[in-house]
Structure 1
C-alpha cells in the first residue's frame, strides 16, 4: 500500500499497483460523514488518514438475464461482496496546545460483480478489494466528509 499527499493531508492505504487484465470487477464509491465523539477535542486540521478495507462475506446470487436500465449486461449470476472499511484520522486539535489526536470508525460497504454467462455454480469465487483513492475534507470543527473509491475484484477457480 502506498502513501500519498494531497492538500497537506497524508493518505495511507491506497493501492498504487497497476492492474493486469481484470475480467470481473466493479468500482464502487463509499462516501460518509465522520464526526468525532464529544470526548474528543475539536478539529483544526487533518494530518493523516488511514483506510483498510476488509471483506467480511460474499454470496453468489441469481439474477435475471438481460440488459439493465443502465445498459449493463446481466448474465444471471452476481457475487455480492460485503465488508468493512477501517477508517482512522489523525488531526491537530483546535486548542493552543496544537496536540495531535486520532479518531476511528468502521464503515460498512457492499457491492456486486457480474459473473460470466458460463459461470458454473461449483466454481470457487475469490474476491478481493483494493482502495483506488481517498478524499477527506473537514466540514466544520467536529465532522469530516470522506469519499473512498474501491475496486472489487472476482477471480474464478
Structure 2
C-alpha cells in the first residue's frame, strides 16, 4: 500500500492496484451505445453536440463505515443552466515564415472554428454509490455525491444571445474503483446534445 497526503491533510492508504480484475460493479444510468448512434443519426443542421469526461475522487462521509467493495454506481445528470455568450474570433495570424494568413474562420489543430458565439451549459452529475461495508456482517451502505460541471458548444455566429436550446444529456460510460477504504475514483463520460428551440 502507498501512504499519501490526499486532501485536507488527511492521510489515506492507497492501493497500488486500483481495481480488482474480477470485481463486477453494476452501473446504472449509462445510455446504450446503439441509442447514442440513433441520437446522432437524427440530427438537424441546427443541432449541436459535445462530449467530455468528468473524473473525480469522492470520499465516503465520516458517519459511514469503510468500504469493502463497490456493488453499484447509479448516476444521472441534471442540467441547471444554459446561456449563449460572445467569444473572440480568430480573424488572422502570421505563419512561421512571416506570411499573413487572413480569414474570417480559421480553425485550430483540433479543427475547432471560433465563431464568436458559444453555448455554455452547466449541470450536476448526481450519483449514488452502493457498497458493502468492511465489517463482519458486510452490510450494504450508500453514499450520495453531487458533482457540478460546466461545458460549452461552439454555435453559429449569428445566434442571438437570448436563444434557448433543448439540452439532452447522455451518460456514455461510468468507470469506478475503490482507491482506499474511504475513497472511490470515478470517471463519467458525458455526451450532450443541444437542439435549437425555434
Shared fold per TM-score greater than 0.5: yes
- The structure with the greater share of residues assigned to helix is 2
Aligned match of 1:156: 196
Matched ranges for 1:32-71 at <5 A: 32-66=56-90, 67-68=107-108, 70-71=110-111
RMSD: 1.8
The count of aligned residue pairs is 152
Matched, 1:11 2:24: no
- The structure with the greater share of residues assigned to strand is 1
Distance 1:61 1:121 in 2: 6
The farther-off stretch of 65-74 and 24-33 is: 65-74
Distance 1:154 1:63 in 2: 18
Deviation track 1:59-94 (CA, whole Å, cap 9, x = no partner) reads 111112233464411111111000111110000111
Matched, 1:28 2:52: yes
Q: Which runs of 5 or more structure 1 residues have no equivalent in the other structure?
A: 1-5
Aligned match of 2:140: 100
Q: Select 1:128's aligned residue among 160, 165, 168.
A: 168
The farther-off stretch of 90-99 and 110-119 is: 110-119
Distance 1:7 1:156 in 2: 43
Q: Normalised by the size of structure 2, how large is the TM-score?
A: 0.71
Q: Which structure has the bigger radius of gyration?
A: 2
Shift of 1:105: 1.1
